[in-house]
Amino acid sequence: RPVRLMLDPQASGPVSLKIDQVVPARPFRETERVKLVDVESKLLSAFHGRPVRMQAGVVLPKSFAANPHKHFPVVYEIPGFGGTHFMAHLAASRGATDVAGIEMLYVVLDPACRLGHHVFADSENNGPRGEALVEELIPHIEKKFHGLGVPAGRFLTGHSSGGWSSLWLQVTYPDFFGGVWSTSPDPVDFRDFQRVNIYRPGTNIFTDETGQRRPLARMSGRPVLFYKPFSDMEVVMGHGGQLGSFEAVFSPRGPDGKPRQLWDRTTGRID
């Protein structure tokens, strides 16, 4: 629960916070056409040494109940950073199961993990996320909800981090997925990683070659967010942020068991 503290800027010393409340998990509201899938992954559990579950929200076509033996093509959506399988309700409200007059199963996957957005990419820090998706979760979904079970009937889409994820999955598993529609994906080339070439020696992620602050986001062409304060914010908040998510996916695991940092959090110098 929220606790208000008064901090004296003239004083120093430890600050005590009592953590004795457990926040209950948000329940997934199932309806006649929106269903929850929640399965334990053997692959991810073995990697992390503890039970790891995968979740998805499945939106059923309108004719699903009336046609128990009919099989449907499937669209898999990967939400952007901060999005989860709870967005299946939004997909249902916009009629996502009817694509150009063809009924489909519409599945919203959950890409969230302890280190942020795992983008369903296999990595040293997040584990075999892509492998678990194609070998465990998708076969389970298509068997339970009557998917066609063939690449020609299996499609990907996503936006932002989900856009990168959908591209990566299609390229990595070209014989498993039949097509991808990616919008505004995260950087796909490290020579232009949010406008920064991280391969160039001596590059600083906080400032450019002239010493000017590097923008992280723009609105109508005008910078509204810069790397340094955003990076500082994630330092305070801990793991699970957007920038930290990139390191969890692309960086090797460091000797401390955490993803190696791409840049020095104080100076901005890229490793």
What's the pLDDT tens digit per position in 180-203?
A: 999 999 999 999 988 899 999 999
The whole-angstrom separation of Cα 28 and Cα 222 is 39
Looking at 186, 209, 240, the residue that finishes a domain is: 186
The pLDDT value given to residue 2: 79
Element (H, E) at 180: strand 179-183
Q: 142 and 215 share a domain?
A: no
Q: Is residue 233 part of a domain?
A: yes
Query: CA nearest 73: which of 130, 134, 150?
Result: 150
Q: Is residue 28 part of a domain?
A: no
Residue 64 has pLDDT above 80, yes or no: yes
Contacts 24+ apart (CB under 8 A), 93-100: 96/59, 97/33, 97/59, 97/60, 97/61, 97/62, 98/61, 98/62, 99/75
The whole-angstrom separation of Cα 108 and Cα 92 is 10
Total structural domains in the chain?
A: 2
Is the Cβ–Cβ distance between 73 and 142 less than 8 Å? no
User: Could you tell me the CA-to-CA distances from 58 to 93, 108, 144 in Å, in that order?
Assistant: 13, 6, 11
Domain that holds residue 95: 34-186
Q: 175 and 199 share a domain?
A: no
Query: pLDDT tier at 15 (50, 70, 90 boundaries)?
Result: confident
The three-state secondary structure class of 169 is helix
Query: CA nearest 193: which of 235, 233, 243?
Result: 243
Count of positions (residues) in the chain: 271
Query: pLDDT tier at 136 (50, 70, 90 boundaries)?
Result: very high
Domain of 123, CATH number, reads 3.40.50.1820
Residue 249 has pLDDT above 90, yes or no: yes
Cα torsion at 117, 229, 3, 238 (round to 10°)? 40
Q: 216 and 123 share a domain?
A: no
Amino acid at 133: L
Q: 151 and 220 share a domain?
A: no
Q: Quote the DSSP letter at residue 87.
A: G
Query: How far is the first Cα of the chain from the last one, in angstroms, to the nearest whole number?
Result: 39
Q: 74 and 164 share a domain?
A: yes
Q: Is residue 126 part of a domain?
A: yes
Query: CA nearest 248: which of 73, 137, 124?
Result: 124
Is the Cβ–Cβ distance between 265 and 231 less than 8 Å? yes
Q: 140 and 152 share a domain?
A: yes
What predicted TM-score, i.e. pTM, was given to this entire model? 0.91
The pLDDT value given to residue 195: 87
Span 45-50, mean pLDDT? Answer: 98
What's the burial of 200, exposed, middle or buried (CB within 10 Å: 0-12/13-18/19+)?
exposed
Query: pLDDT tier at 233 (50, 70, 90 boundaries)?
Result: very high
Q: 221 and 122 share a domain?
A: no
Q: 159 and 60 share a domain?
A: yes
Is the Cβ–Cβ distance between 226 and 237 less than 8 Å? no
Average pLDDT of every residue of the chain: 95
